[in-house]
């Protein structure tokens, strides 16, 4: 039986009928066409599906859509302010923190979420914050550098 | 030094904006009207006869649109190398590993397709299973392919110089064994595709691949449809590293189902299916014997290797050559013998992975060279400096080192890592180690025997002259080829990077062999450079005619026309451009004649301004059997120093720092070169410390997840001190050669050598788990 749920995604309210076994990843990608959220494993190992739910980063593949009922969700599509990129996004571009790009949305979500909680993190804190986001391409160094650079440019 | 305006900089990637905003579409993000969803039935047995397949119940399920098995698909053999086509789209008479594909279903949604798969009934007769190389080659072992009764899929026997004589002249000879484990590509994006067959008989396949060209050829051959009717398009691709460098069952099934149903068909691998499809790094069992003189001169190398290939050949026939041919090359070695055997087992097929064929061999030998240097009382860097080859030399197996900055790499890492104050001087439990690497800059020959061009490119100018459309079938898989090729086009044509719009990864753009063997910067780069130079020439010729000055007196730089012999009156041209562009935006500055104005004028003159480029390396290498494998128009090389901490109680290894120097010829984009180096080192660190695809006694993968198959996280990987060495390769575009694959080579042995420096124990089996180090430490204590 489908259930009607309410989600606020990127500041926009949606009413969606979902089957109880559908994950938040599936609903975001398939019902709302927010394909920036990626699925790399489906079981919470890789972090490619990370979104911010009620202020905290979560692996959306481990959240059932009905569990998210009433929640506020921010996906990679909701990070920029119109055409103006978020400082973490801008820093990823300038510091070469992107290769294949498949982990990038989740990485940016984790990086932004860290800076929201802790505007001036240490390198170890950055590494811990993205340790649930796997990247096979970059060796992480430029991602860490980008988040560090964003923390320096962001006003808080 | 030539002055460049675009290349040799740190410009951001051309796909960066799409990737940071989440708007980049990968294959799994695509959908089409009326699209069906496919799913595969895969074998639960590692080795079994198929007695009967009953699809009747599945066919009756509401929402199922088609089911295909070997009966519908036919049994045309395919694979990677035509010399070893040993796969069919679906298993016919038997299955050879857990995961071997038996049928595919297309249904209205993915859940229905999965349910239908579960309703297909297959009767199997299980056969004895063989999972280990040495069991597989025993007399009486189960035969996996009838054509190969001893399970040896390919063997290589090569000798260069005279190895016995080399050993006779040696003062010191030692033999060591080494084994790695089967590695998974572990790219973040599971394979996915959408096939669309239209009523005109054209098939378009959007797929997550490294090699649109080879996929196009395979689809054409297996499904019996003309090549010109098959278009393969890459959306954004989430990494490949080798396993995506050939056509797979997913792609072929989706195409077949779309052709039969007339509807688009989408198929996506789960992460478990990525592990089952595999095609990653082989397991290599090396035995190396090296002879040296007292003064450190390397005299001879004998290399024997058994490769655990899994159930099909995939790239294996090349892999078994690479495991021998690349090894001796960085050193002045006159005598080298190699015996390699690739063996079938009932496991997922192994194929190519970053550093194809050479990574385990390099790890084994660079560790052995470290042992030898110590025995001789020579510093390991001095030992290498004594033996390394130089630019212009030709190896004993006929590789021409047209550029070779190995010496510069070694000197750079020594200086930048404080080696002299650290080697042998660090406290117990801390260690420093080094090693060298070597790799091809593009395979010298295509996978199928052919005179084909390896790369083609086309550039077209827009009618307003403002946009340079670059059409290249080269494959962007994350390594940055779109950016590199756009930069090469911009530099060669004389425009800014933002003036270039790239269209890549599409077989409709021409032929490019794709992203493997670290080839695209050099090969696709050549084709793009040629195309750009052709367009530049065409524009300048029109200008020369209009202004009545010779082409040689003009140039294009940074989007402006340069008049080498002083100012030229262009007012007539400029006013005709403005007239043409009345009401258009962005009028040109009055001070200069811009490329845009010149290109518009050229368009008005010629109608079409298109430039083409095509590259093939020409004849390379020697005349012996297998001489083609390992040939390349250029070779990359590298040297690396790693520092580790080993917990002497538990054996746990932590890599503290890495210093890596890589000779990439010339860095088109310095940020990308660093990124390739850092990423390679990370994959090497993973293989060294964690990565192993494990099997149970029935051949089932025990850890087909990214949680249990552990790759490095941000907490495992230290910062890398990256040093770019530029040796200016004469065979490369602007002097550029490879970095993407070769950079992985020195990492594993440098870690091994650092662990020895920290602990006094040598590890000959990967991964270097705490348990292995602990056991070695205990063993060492006992011996005391």
Contact residues, chain A, for B477 at CB < 8 Å = 100
pLDDT of amino acid B183: 98
Above 90 in pLDDT, residue B589? no
Per residue in B689-720, pLDDT tens? 999 999 999 999 999 999 999 999 999 999 99
A47 → chain B, closest CA residue: B188
- Strand A56-59 and strand A12-18: the pairing is unpaired
Per residue in B718-756, pLDDT tens? 999 999 999 999 999 999 999 999 999 999 999 999 999
Contact residues, chain B, for A100 at CB < 8 Å = 187-189, 236-239, 477-478
Same domain for B607 and B650, yes or no, is no
Answer yes or no: are the C-beta atoms of B660 and B722 closer than 8 Å. Answer: yes
**Which of residues 128 through 147 in chain A touch B, CB cutoff 8 A?**
128, 130-144
Answer yes or no: are the C-beta atoms of A75 and A99 closer than 8 Å. Answer: no
B482 domain residue, yes or no = yes
ipTM of predicted complex: 0.98
B682 → chain A, closest CA residue: A139
Class of A3-78 in CATH: alpha beta
pLDDT of amino acid B512: 98
Mean pLDDT of B312-335: 97
Per residue in B669-682, pLDDT tens? 999 999 999 999 99
Above 50 in pLDDT, residue B1? no
CATH number of the domain within which B59 lies:
3.90.1170.50
B3 domain residue, yes or no = no
Last residue of a domain, one of B564, B591, B615: B615
Helix A87-94 to helix A104-117 angle, to the nearest 10 degrees? Answer: 130
Q: Flag if B188 and A103 touch (Cβ within 8 Å).
A: yes
- Mean pLDDT of the residues in chain B: 97
Q: Flag if A96 and B675 touch (Cβ within 8 Å).
A: yes
What does the block give as tokens for B526? 């050549």
B161 domain residue, yes or no = no
Chain B contact for A40 (CB, 8 A cutoff)? yes
Give the nearest partner residue to A93 out of B17, B190, B238, using CB atoms.
B17
Last residue of a domain, one of B581, B615, B649: B615
Above 70 in pLDDT, residue B584? no
Separation CA B581–CA B600 (nearest Å) = 10
B591 pLDDT band (50/70/90 cuts)?
confident
Give the nearest partner residue to B188 out of A35, A100, A126, using CB atoms.
A100
B13 domain residue, yes or no = no
Same domain for B633 and B611, yes or no, is no
Same domain for B658 and B752, yes or no, is yes
First to last CA, chain A: 46
- Mean pLDDT of the residues in chain A: 97
Above 60 in pLDDT, residue B242? yes
B740 domain residue, yes or no = yes
Angle at B450 between CA B449 and CA B452, to 5 degrees: 145
Same domain for B250 and B334, yes or no, is no
pLDDT of amino acid B590: 77
Mean pLDDT of B201-218: 98
% of chain B with per-residue pLDDT over 90: 96
For B110, the domain range is: 27-127+188-239+244-277
Contact residues, chain B, for A144 at CB < 8 Å = 714, 719
Same domain for B564 and B484, yes or no, is yes
What DSSP state is assigned to residue B4?
-
Same domain for B273 and B288, yes or no, is no
Number of domains in chain B: 3
Answer yes or no: are the C-beta atoms of A105 and A29 closer than 8 Å. Answer: no
B3 pLDDT band (50/70/90 cuts)?
confident
Same domain for B231 and B319, yes or no, is no
Mean pLDDT of B652-663: 98
Instruction: Give the global pTM.
Output: 0.98
Chain A: closest CA distance from residue B429 (Å) = 23
Question: For chain A, which residues make up each domain, given as ranges?
Answer: 3-78, 87-153
Find the largest Cα–Cα distance for chain A: 49
B157 domain residue, yes or no = no
pLDDT of amino acid B585: 66
pLDDT of amino acid A156: 52
Chain A: closest CA distance from residue B649 (Å) = 25
B151 domain residue, yes or no = no
Same domain for B325 and B251, yes or no, is no
Chain A: closest CA distance from residue B124 (Å) = 30
Contacts of B255 (CB under 8 A, 6+ apart): B195, B197, B203, B205, B219, B223, B265
Per residue in B602-645, pLDDT tens? 999 999 999 999 999 989 999 999 999 999 999 999 999 999 99
User: B26 phi and psi, to 5 degrees?
Assistant: -100, 170
Please check whether the domain covering A87-153 is classified as CATH 3.90.1150.10. no
What DSSP state is assigned to residue B694?
-
Same domain for B726 and B689, yes or no, is yes
Per residue in B26-63, pLDDT tens? 999 999 999 999 999 999 999 999 999 999 999 999 99
Same domain for B754 and B699, yes or no, is yes
CATH number of the domain within which B362 lies:
3.30.365.10
Mean pLDDT of B390-411: 97
Q: Flag if A35 and B22 touch (Cβ within 8 Å).
A: yes
Chain B: closest CA distance from residue A15 (Å) = 22
User: Mutate which of B15, B18, B21, B27 to test chain A, going by most A C-beta atoms within 10 A?
Assistant: B21
Mean pLDDT of B538-551: 97
Above 90 in pLDDT, residue B196? yes
Above 90 in pLDDT, residue B577? no
Chain B contact for A80 (CB, 8 A cutoff)? yes
Chain A: closest CA distance from residue B237 (Å) = 6
Per residue in B107-126, pLDDT tens? 999 999 999 999 999 999 99
User: B121 phi and psi, to 5 degrees?
Assistant: -105, 125
């Amino acid at each position: 039986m489908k259930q009607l749920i309410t989600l606020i995604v990127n500041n926009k309210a949606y009413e969606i009928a979902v089957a109880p076994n559908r994950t938040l990843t599936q609903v975001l990608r398939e019902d709302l066409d927010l394909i920036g959220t990626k699925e790399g494993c489906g079981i919470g190992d890789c972090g490619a599906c990370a979104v911010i739910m009620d202020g905290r980063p979560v692996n959306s593949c481990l959240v059932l859509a009905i569990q998210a009922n009433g929640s506020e969700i921010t996906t990679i599509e909701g990070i920029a302010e119109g055409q103006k990129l978020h400082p973490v996004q801008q820093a990823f571009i300038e510091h070469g923190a992107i290769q294949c790009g498949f982990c990038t949305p989740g990485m940016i979500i984790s990086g932004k979420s860290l800076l929201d909680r802790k505007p001036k993190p240490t390198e170890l804190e950055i590494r811990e914050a993205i340790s649930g986001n796997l990247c096979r391409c970059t060796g992480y160094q430029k991602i860490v550098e980008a988040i560090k650079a964003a923390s320096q440019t962001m006003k808080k | 030094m030539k002055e460049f305006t675009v290349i040799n900089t740190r410009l951001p990637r051309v796909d960066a904006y799409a990737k940071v905003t989440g708007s980049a579409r990968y294959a799994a993000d695509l959908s089409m009207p009326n699209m069906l969803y496919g799913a595969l039935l895969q074998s639960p047995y590692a080795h079994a006869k198929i007695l009967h397949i009953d699809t009747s119940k599945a066919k009756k399920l509401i929402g199922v649109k088609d089911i295909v098995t070997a009966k519908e698909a036919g049994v045309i053999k395919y694979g990677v190398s035509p010399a070893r086509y040993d796969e069919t789209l679906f298993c016919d008479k038997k299955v050879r590993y857990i995961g071997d594909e038996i049928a595919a279903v297309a249904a209205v949604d993915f859940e229905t397709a999965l349910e239908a798969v579960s309703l297909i009934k297959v009767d199997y007769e299980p056969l004895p299973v063989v999972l280990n190389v040495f069991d597989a080659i025993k007399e009486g072992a189960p035969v996996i392919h009838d054509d190969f009764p001893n399970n040896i899929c390919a063997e290589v026997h090569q000798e260069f110089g005279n190895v016995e004589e080399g050993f006779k002249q040696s003062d010191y000879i030692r033999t060591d064994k080494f084994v790695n484990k089967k590695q998974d590509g572990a790219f973040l994006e599971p394979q996915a595709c959408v096939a669309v067959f239209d009523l005109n008989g054209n098939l378009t396949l959007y797929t997550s691949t490294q090699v649109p060209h080879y996929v196009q050829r395979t689809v054409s051959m297996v499904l019996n449809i003309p090549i010109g009717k098959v278009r393969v398009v890459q959306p954004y691709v989430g990494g490949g590293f080798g396993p995506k460098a050939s056509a797979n069952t997913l792609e072929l099934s989706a195409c077949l189902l779309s052709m039969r149903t007339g509807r688009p068909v989408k198929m996506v691998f789960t992460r478990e299916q990525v592990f089952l499809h595999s095609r990653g790094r082989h397991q290599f069992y090396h035995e190396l014997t090296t002879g040296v003189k007292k003064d450190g001169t390397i005299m001879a190398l004998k290399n024997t290797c058994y490769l655990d290939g899994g159930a099909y050949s995939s790239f294996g026939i090349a892999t078994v050559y690479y495991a021998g041919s690349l090894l001796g090359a960085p050193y002045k070695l006159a005598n080298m013998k190699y015996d390699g055997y690739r063996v079938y087992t009932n496991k997922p097929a192994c194929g190519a992975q970053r550093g194809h064929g050479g990574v385990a061999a390099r790890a084994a030998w660079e560790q052995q060279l470290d042992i030898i240097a110590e025995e001789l009382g020579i510093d390991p860097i001095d030992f290498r400096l004594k033996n390394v080859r130089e630019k212009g030399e030709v190896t004993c197996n006929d590789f021409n080192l047209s550029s070779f900055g190995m010496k510069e790499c070694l000197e750079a890492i020594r200086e930048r890592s404080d080696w002299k104050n650290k080697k042998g001087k660090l406290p117990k439990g801390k260690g420093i180690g080094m090693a060298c690497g070597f790799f091809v800059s593009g395979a010298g020959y295509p996978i199928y025997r052919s005179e084909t061009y390896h790369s083609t490119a086309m550039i077209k100018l827009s009618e307003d002259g403002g946009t340079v459309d670059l059409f290249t079938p080269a494959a962007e898989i994350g390594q940055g080829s779109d950016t590199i090729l756009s930069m090469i086009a911009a530099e060669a044509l004389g425009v800014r990077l933002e003036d270039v719009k790239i269209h890549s990864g599409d077989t409709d753009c021409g032929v490019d062999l794709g992203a493997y063997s670290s080839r695209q910067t050099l090969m696709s780069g050549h084709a793009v450079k040629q195309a750009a130079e052709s367009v530049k020439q065409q524009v300048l010729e029109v200008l020369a005619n209009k202004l009545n000055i010779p082409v040689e007196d003009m140039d294009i730089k940074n989007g402006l026309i340069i008049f080498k012999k002083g100012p030229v009156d262009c007012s007539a041209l400029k006013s005709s451009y403005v007239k043409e562009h009345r009401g258009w935006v962005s009028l040109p500055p009055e001070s200069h004649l811009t490329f845009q104005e010149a290109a518009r004028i050229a368009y008005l003159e010629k109608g079409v301004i298109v430039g083409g480029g095509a590259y093939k390396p020409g004849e390379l290498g020697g005349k012996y059997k297998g001489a083609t494998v390992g040939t390349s128009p250029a070779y990359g090389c590298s040297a690396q120093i790693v520092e580790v901490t080993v917990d002497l109680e538990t054996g746990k290894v932590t890599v503290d720092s890495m210093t890596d120097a890589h000779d990439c010829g010339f860095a088109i984009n310095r940020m990308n070169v660093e990124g390739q180096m850092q990423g390679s080192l990370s994959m090497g660190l993973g293989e060294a410390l964690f990565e192993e695809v494990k099997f149970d006694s029935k051949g089932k993968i025990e850890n087909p997840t990214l949680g249990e198959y552990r790759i490095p996280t941000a907490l495992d990987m230290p910062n890398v001190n990256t040093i770019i060495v530029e040796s200016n390769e004469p065979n490369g575009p602007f002097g550029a050669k490879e970095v993407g694959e070769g950079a992985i080579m020195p990492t594993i042995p440098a870690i091994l050598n650092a662990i020895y420096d920290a602990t006094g124990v040598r590890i000959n089996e990967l991964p270097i788990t705490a348990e292995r180090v602990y056991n070695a430490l205990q063993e060492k204590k006992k011996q005391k």
